Amino acid sequence: MDQFKNIGLVGRLNSSSVVVSLKLIIPFLQERGLNVIVDRAIGELVSEYGLQESALRLMGESCDMVIVVGGDGTLLGAARELAPYKVPVLGVNRGNLGFLTDITPDQVCEKITEVLEGRYTIENRFLIDAFVRRKGLPVGEGSALNEVILHPGKTARLIRFDLYIEGEYVYNQRSDGLIVATPTGSTAYSLSGGGPIMHPRLDAIVLVPMFPHTLSSRPIVVDGNVELKIVVDERNETFPNVSCDGQTNIVCAPGDVITIRKKPQKLRLIHPLSYNFYETCRSKLGWGAKLGE
């Protein structure tokens, strides 16, 4: 328990179930003599405990572990802020699927106890950075744990763009866009678009065309260390968008260049020893169990 003295708490807003879990976790940690620091965004929800509040980014500097209570979206937002600080993150699921927040509410005290006692594993999950430049000048940038998506925005029109991998020309495509996903994101939007499921330990990126205007366009899996470049065709009449984890949005223009590459810092994701990726796929995606189960 000595390695986790300062515990950060992050929760999804506008969720009564999240508040219930927070009010279970806080006294549980305090009874063990641990210092609990709560994300400023949810401070009012648990104000009766008189906890120290902090901006999420600063938690990375002051906390030994951060517990995220909510869905995968909540953890995605926390991951982008906390990854540069290498602070380990533990997810408690109060959302829907819960691929990243794998502790269930009924097991929260049991599993946190296991972690505090050193019975856990840590997975390093890489993120990707996206940079948009217009005539050589920066327009915007963002990071993603799941995926970076080029999409039409509010208009339902095809986008024309060129794709380069490590400076080598791949193709010119007309489609609704392109999903660039990490292994973590391979079970998210990429999966809905027909992409493959990748084990989280793979060092790879998958590129999934969105409704391409040709039957020969298929997902491509590439090395995780490549640099991708997407050039928005000058002939486009619309202004496509670049979205990072569905939470950061950059509006592009015809001729813009989008560069995507692996982020230097990784998210340190804590799992209880009982965590099993394939069991998670079975339960979340409805895969068949063994006969007789």
Choose, from 2, 64, 72, 106, the residue flagged as catalytic: 72
Q: Provide the residue count of the chain.
A: 293
Which DSSP category does 284 fall into? H
> What CA–CA distance (Å, rounded) separates 74 from 90?
12
Contacts of 172 (CB under 8 A, 6+ apart): 160, 161, 162, 163, 233
72 is an active site residue: yes
Q: Name the nearest CA neighbour of 8 among 48, 72, 70, 51.
A: 51
> What CA–CA distance (Å, rounded) separates 154 from 152?
6
Dihedral angle of Cα 225, 98, 131, 258, to the nearest 10 degrees: 80
Residues with active-site annotation: 72
